Structure 1
Amino acid sequence: MKAAKKTAIRLTLLASLISSTSVMAADQVTFQLDWLPGGDKAPVYVGIQQGFFADEDLEVKIASGRGSTDALTKMATGQSDIGSSDIGALMAAKAQADVPVVAVFPYFTQAPHAFFVLKSSGIKSIKDLKGKKVATSPFTSSNAFLPLVLKQNGLSESDIKLVKSDPGALAPMMITGSTDTIIAWVTNTALYDAQAKGAGKELIEMPWSNSGLSLYSSSVLASERFLEERPDVAKRFIKAFAKSIEFTYANPDQAGIDLHKMVPEVDASIVSAQIKSIYSLVYNDVTTKDGFGNFTDERIQKTWEYVAEANGLKMDAIDPKTAVNSSFKPE
């Protein structure tokens, strides 16, 4: 009886040791956001809540960010391992300095930049912005492409009155008539639409991708050091993240709930609406042609040409393919 009891105790201790070792074995990864939590950031929260990262023996910590440049800096300096940022911002940075960060997986295969106006403004196209007041955030990567999209539509920066304001003030400025139009990502459409309707007004979205600007945008980027020192962890993370993207856009309501569980101040229904409104940034004619999760040399080159022109950079400043490393994507 005593021997049986001792054996049971030993087995319990062994099971406990195995369990604790398993928990300790999970690889730690710091994921860098480039902006505030919202529908477009949902996949990383979904990956945690749905257990996709845990299935790959990963424990993911999410770090807040304040724009593409901030996210790039934190990955380049080793504060974060992998994260989301605009591949255009990465290319521009690499053209000017040796930034040890590369894109490893495409997320938005179309540009999210847009003008937003009220229907009552009478503005129906980008050409109608001549002489109008345009408000934007000082942090958005959209600003770099503004001169280019204006040029593609027969305008120049001197044709508009550009003002910069805090991101949270943009929609109220438009709704109250302090500005004729605002610049933001289409990821904000659901939120802005709700704010406009609350004031008894109707919102119109004018995506730049419909006006000549077609390129890769938000992507999964990673520190080169992280990729070199922990390649297996990187592969497992990207595999889980790809699964998280697919789940998010197939189940937007659940994705909203998952994000809300981790960030209670963000409304689940708004997140769900945002995800539905940006579906075409993730799944579109580009992904139909090239496949989900695939960068192509042709589109990378075209993206660089847009970035170089928008930022006044020489076309031969970099080989844009060096900004990408696709060897870690799921097979």
Structure 2
Amino acid sequence: MMSKSTPLAALAFALSATTALAGDPVTYQLDWLPGGDKAPIYVCVDQGFCADAGLDVTIASGRGSSDAISRLAAGSSDIGMADIGALMAAKAQEGVGVTSVLSVFNKGPHAFYTVKDSGFDSVADVKGKKIATSPFTSSNVYLPLVLQDVGLTEADLELTKADAGALGPMLMTGQVDGIVAWMTDLSRYTGQGKDAGKEIIALPWSAAGLELYSAALNANDAFLAERPEVAARFVAAFKKSIEFCQTNPEEAAQSVVNMVPELEHGDVLGSLNDMLGLVFNDVTEEDGLGVFEPGRLAATWTRVAAAQGLDESAHGAEDFVTRSFQPGGEG
């Protein structure tokens, strides 16, 4: 005969099982609006990689790398994407409790865009040109450095600040000779150029010597210390999602659209393909996916310190990362 306590016990067991099936909660922090360049986290959720790792992931919106770092430091998010340069600056200046766990963009996304056959064929050709840039892009921080690399200063060009949405039209209509934008926007600007009957080319600053790590997976230090096993499962699932994006870009783009229906598949796919070049390239072939190679990491810190006016000697580059969650990593 069933006792009166049995149904309650069964209910308690069922609730416990449901909680277990839901997985360990993780809040992922975006560094900007959803799009193809943010595909890995949407793939992780939509394709089931996060669930397979026993994770219940919530995606939080963001408004730039500095905002993402602040939210991670406050503990409102556990792990997420932001430029490692922003992390280095915040950690050096404010001592924020956030650490990079995985490299994503092993090349900086910063570039000039111009019209083909305009005489602006390399970064060095920017001298005397009219250039427009958004007031808020992190590229502005590195502009003096890339100019210095080619023997120029900002005084050698005419720099205009404009809303990000106005940059493309300004270039297409000839109001400026070039714009400052990210390589993740290559498809968008080349599409605008095609509509205007112009061929748009990108001049990556990395090709002019600005070699550094950029977007990285960063985590709240308390999350890493208190739930290291959860963090390890997330990083592994996220890395698998990045690899899926490379081998299945059409499906990856669809995963983004499945979760953010207001986006167009073609736009997402274009941005995703643009992003993949910053993730999979000669650096990846040499060092591996997600790895912070010590020499390149040190060079990144040197560049960030110079760009932000920081005392480079006050910190070592290794202060900003942990290798515990990288392939074969320790420490």
TM-score (norm 2): 0.91
Tell me which residue corresponds to 2:160.
163
| Pairing partner for 2:25 from 28, 41, 64 | 28
**CA displacement, residues 274-316 of structure 1 (integer Å, 9 cap, x when unaligned):** 2223333111222222222221221111111111122222221
Identical aligned residues as a percent: 52
Inter-partner Cα distance in structure 2 for 1:262 and 1:118: 35
Q: Does 1:303 align with 2:300?
A: yes
Q: Does 1:319 align with 2:323?
A: no
Tell me which residue corresponds to 2:211.
214
Task: Give the superposition deviation at 1:19.
Answer: 4.8
Q: Secondary structure at the match of 1:258?
A: helix
Inter-partner Cα distance in structure 2 for 1:22 and 1:93: 36
2:164 partner amino acid: P
2:87 partner amino acid: L
Inter-partner Cα distance in structure 2 for 1:93 and 1:18: 40
Q: Secondary structure at the match of 1:278?
A: helix
Tell me which residue corresponds to 2:35.
38
Structure 1 spans left out of the alignment, 5+ residues:
4-8
Q: Secondary structure at the match of 2:261?
A: coil
Inter-partner Cα distance in structure 2 for 1:61 and 1:121: 46
Inter-partner Cα distance in structure 1 for 2:30 and 2:109: 16
Task: Give the superposition deviation at 1:40.
Answer: 1.7
**CA displacement, residues 128-162 of structure 1 (integer Å, 9 cap, x when unaligned):** 22222211122221111100001111210111122
Inter-partner Cα distance in structure 1 for 2:70 and 2:56: 22
Tell me which residue corresponds to 2:56.
59
Inter-partner Cα distance in structure 2 for 1:172 and 1:228: 48
Contact 1:109–1:215, Cα closer than 8 Å, also in 2: yes
Tell me which residue corresponds to 1:264.
261
Spell out the pairing of 1:118-157 with structure 2 (5 A cutoff). 118-119=115-116, 121-157=118-154
Inter-partner Cα distance in structure 2 for 1:35 and 1:325: 24
1:281 partner amino acid: L
Superposition CA RMSD, Å: 2.2
Spell out the pairing of 1:90-105 with structure 2 (5 A cutoff). 90-105=87-102
**CA displacement, residues 25-47 of structure 1 (integer Å, 9 cap, x when unaligned):** x1111111111222221000000
**CA displacement, residues 107-132 of structure 1 (integer Å, 9 cap, x when unaligned):** 01111111111225331112222222
Structure 2 spans left out of the alignment, 5+ residues:
2-6
Deviates more, 1:160-169 or 1:43-52: 160-169
Inter-partner Cα distance in structure 1 for 2:160 and 2:100: 32
Contact 2:291–2:327, Cα closer than 8 Å, also in 1: no
Spell out the pairing of 1:249-288 with structure 2 (5 A cutoff). 249-288=246-285
| Pairing partner for 1:193 from 169, 175, 190 | 190
Runs of 4+ in 1 over 4 A off after TM superposition: 12-19
Q: Secondary structure at the match of 1:272?
A: helix
Q: Secondary structure at the match of 2:181?
A: strand
Task: Give the superposition deviation at 1:193.
Answer: 1.1
Deviates more, 1:72-81 or 1:283-292: 283-292
Task: Give the superposition deviation at 1:16.
Answer: 5.2
Contact 1:116–1:183, Cα closer than 8 Å, also in 2: yes
Deviates more, 1:238-247 or 1:222-231: 222-231
Q: Does 1:179 align with 2:170?
A: no
Tell me which residue corresponds to 1:108.
105
Task: Give the superposition deviation at 1:197.
Answer: 0.9
Inter-partner Cα distance in structure 1 for 2:261 and 2:307: 38
Spell out the pairing of 1:220-239 with structure 2 (5 A cutoff). 220-239=217-236
Inter-partner Cα distance in structure 2 for 1:265 and 1:240: 26
Contact 1:253–1:269, Cα closer than 8 Å, also in 2: no
Q: Secondary structure at the match of 2:278?
A: helix
2:83 partner amino acid: D
Inter-partner Cα distance in structure 2 for 1:298 and 1:126: 25
Q: Secondary structure at the match of 2:121?
A: coil
Tell me which residue corresponds to 2:245.
248
Deviates more, 1:156-165 or 1:101-110: 156-165
Inter-partner Cα distance in structure 2 for 1:108 and 1:210: 15
| Pairing partner for 2:83 from 79, 86, 95 | 86
